[in-house]
C-alpha cells in the first residue's frame, strides 16, 4: 500500500495495548506498518500492570480460601507463600504473552523497531541512530506513575516496582486511595503484610459511586488494613530503622515502614517525543485529540493513556482499532465512552458501568430513582466475620431506563459485563424485574431489587 514517498504507511509509537491494537488493525487493512518502542512489547498492562496484578490477586485469593475452608470443616488448610516462586510463575506467563504478540505482529508483517521515537517533522521520526518516514503516525506512548515533588520521595516505589520486590514487605505504607492503591493494599494485606493506606480524600476510590466507595472503605478496615483518610504525604526520610513517612491532616503523624508505595496517579508519557516539531498540541499535559483521535496535525493520531480520556486497557484497544479504521477505510469511527465498565480487583470486588448516582443527579432535567440492596452472599454465611455484597441501580424515574449499575461482591466484574449490551439499548427496571435468575446465586439479587 505504501508509495515511494514514505518508508511506511503507518508508524505506531508505543507497543502497549493501544499501539498493538492499532498496528494489527491497520495491517489487516493492507497498510505497511511499523511499531516502535524501546521497552518490552505489551506495555504497562502486560508487563507491569493489569496482567501481573491479576496474578497477584489470584495468589491472594488462595490465602482467602484457606481462611474460608476452616469455616467449612477443613482441619488444616493453611500453607505458606513462596514469593519468589510466585514471581517466577508470573514472569514465565508474561514472557508467553509477549511471544504471542510478537508472533501475531510477524504474521501481519508488522515491523517491530526496538527504539524510542523522536519527531523531526510530522512525517519523519528519529529512532536511535536511524531516521524513518511515515505517511501517518499514531502516538500510543501510554502513561507513567507520578511522584510528588516532596523531600525524600525517591525511596518510594511505584506500582511497577511492586512486581520486582525481593521479599514480601512487613510494614507497607501506601499513599493514594485510587484503584491501584486499593488493590495493592488488599493484595498485600491478604498475603500477610501490615498495611496502612493513606489518602487525601474522605473516602477511597474518588470517581466511583459513593456507595461503592463507602462499602470498600469499610471492608478494607474490617480486613485489618489501616485506612487513614483526609491525610496527605508531607515528606519521607530514611535511616537504618526504615522509612519514616511524615503525614499531615486528620492523621498528623509519622509512620515507620520498610516499603513505601506511591500510588498517586499516572501522567501521559510524552517525554522525548519532540511534539513541537510535529505540530502536535498538548492540553493539560496530555495530547489533545478530537472524537476520532486526530491531533492538531492531520496526519498524526493519538490513542490510549497519552490522551486525556478514559485510561483503561479495553478503551485503549478500542481507540486503536477505531483510529486504524478511520485512517485506512472510508468509514471513520469514534469510540463511545457512555457504557464503559470499570472494576476494582480486590476482595470484595467492585464493578461499575454507566453513571454514578452523583453523575445522574447532576443532570437537572432528570428525576432519579435509586434501588440498592446489601446482603451477605451464601458462601460467607458460615463465617464469623460477615462479608457484605451490594447491588445498586441508578434509574431514570420517568422512563425507568437504567442509567448506572454498581456492584460489590465476588466476581462482580464478570457479572456486570453481560448486562452492558442491554443497558446500551435502554434496559428498564421492569424488564430487569421480569427476568428469572439462577438460584442460589448472588447475581439473582439484581432481578429482585425493590
User: Any idea how long the chain is?
Assistant: 450
Non-local CB neighbours of 390 within 8 Å, separated by 6+ positions: 211, 212, 215, 372, 373, 374, 406, 407, 408, 409
Instruction: Please choose, from the candidates 122, 120, 147, 143, the residue with its C-alpha nearest in 3D space to the C-alpha of residue 131.
Output: 120
Strand order of the β-sheet with 389-396 is 342-344, 350-354, 402-408, 389-396, 368-375
* Choice among 123, 217, 244, 439 that is catalytic: 439
- Helix (H) or strand (E) run with residue 105 in it: helix 83-107
DSSP per-residue string spanning 27-60: HHTT--EEEE-SS-TTHHHHHHSHHHHHHHHHHH
Between helix 313-328 and helix 17-28 the angle, nearest 10°, is 30
Pure H helices in 191-261: 210-222
Has 251 been annotated as catalytic?
Answer: no
Separation between Cα atoms, residue 100 and residue 91, nearest integer Å = 14
Active site residues: 439
Amino acid at each position: 500500500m505504501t508509495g515511494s514517498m514514505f518508508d511506511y504507511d503507518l508508524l505506531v509509537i508505543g507497543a502497549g495495548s493501544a499501539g498493538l491494537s492499532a498496528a494489527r488493525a491497520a495491517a489487516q487493512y493492507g497498510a505497511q506498518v511499523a511499531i516502535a518502542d524501546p521497552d518490552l512489547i505489551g506495555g504497562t498492562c502486560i508487563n507491569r500492570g493489569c496482567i501481573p496484578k491479576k496474578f497477584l490477586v489470584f495468589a491472594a485469593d488462595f490465602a482467602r480460601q484457606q481462611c474460608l475452608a476452616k469455616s467449612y470443616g477443613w482441619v488444616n488448610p493453611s500453607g505458606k507463600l513462596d514469593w519468589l516462586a510466585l514471581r517466577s510463575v508470573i514472569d514465565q506467563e508474561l514472557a508467553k504473552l509477549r511471544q504471542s504478540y510478537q508472533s501475531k505482529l510477524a504474521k501481519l508483517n508488522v515491523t517491530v523497531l526496538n527504539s524510542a521515537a523522536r519527531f523531526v517533522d510530522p512525517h519523519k521520526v528519529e529512532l536511535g541512530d536511524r531516521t524513518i518516514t511515515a505517511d501517518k503516525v499514531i502516538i500510543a506512548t501510554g502513561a507513567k506513575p507520578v511522584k510528588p515533588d516532596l523531600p525524600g520521595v525517591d525511596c518510594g516505589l511505584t506500582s511497577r516496582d511492586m512486581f520486582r520486590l525481593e521479599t514480601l514487605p512487613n510494614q507497607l505504607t501506601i499513599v493514594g486511595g485510587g484503584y491501584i492503591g486499593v488493590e495493592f493494599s488488599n493484595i498485600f494485606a491478604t498475603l500477610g503484610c501490615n498495611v496502612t493506606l493513606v489518602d487525601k480524600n474522605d473516602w477511597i476510590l474518588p470517581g466511583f459511586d459513593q456507595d461503592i466507595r463507602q462499602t470498600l472503605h469499610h471492608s478494607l478496615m474490617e480486613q485489618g488494613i489501616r485506612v487513614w483518610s483526609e491525610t496527605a504525604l508531607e515528606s519521607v526520610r530514611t535511616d537504618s530503622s526504615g522509612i519514616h513517612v511524615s503525614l499531615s491532616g486528620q492523621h498528623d503523624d509519622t509512620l515507620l515502614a520498610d516499603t513505601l508505595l506511591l500510588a498517586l496517579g499516572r501522567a501521559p508519557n510524552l517525554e522525548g517525543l519532540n511534539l513541537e516539531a510535529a505540530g502536535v498540541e498538548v492540553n493539560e499535559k496530555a495530547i489533545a485529540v478530537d472524537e476520532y483521535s486526530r491531533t492538531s496535525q492531520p496526519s498524526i493520531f493519538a490513542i490510549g493513556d497519552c490522551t486525556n480520556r478514559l485510561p483503561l486497557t479495553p478503551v485503549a484497544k478500542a481507540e486503536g482499532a477505531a483510529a486504524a479504521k478511520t485512517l485506512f477505510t472510508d468509514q471513520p469511527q469514534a469510540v463511545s465512552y457512555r457504557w464503559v465498565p470499570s472494576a476494582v480487583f480486590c476482595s470484595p470486588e467492585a464493578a461499575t458501568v454507566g453513571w454514578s448516582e452523583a453523575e445522574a443527579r447532576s443532570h437537572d432535567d432528570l428525576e432519579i430513582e435509586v434501588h440498592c440492596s446489601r446482603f451477605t452472599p451464601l458462601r460467607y454465611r458460615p463465617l464469623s466475620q460477615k462479608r457484605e455484597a451490594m447491588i445498586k441501580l441508578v434509574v431514570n424515574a420517568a422512563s425507568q431506563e437504567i442509567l448506572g449499575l454498581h456492584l460489590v461482591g465476588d466476581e462482580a466484574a464478570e457479572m456486570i459485563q453481560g448486562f452492558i449490551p442491554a443497558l446500551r439499548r435502554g434496559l428498564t427496571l421492569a424488564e430487569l424485574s421480569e427476568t428469572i435468575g439462577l438460584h442460589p446465586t448472588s447475581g439473582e439479587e439484581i432481578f429482585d431489587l425493590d
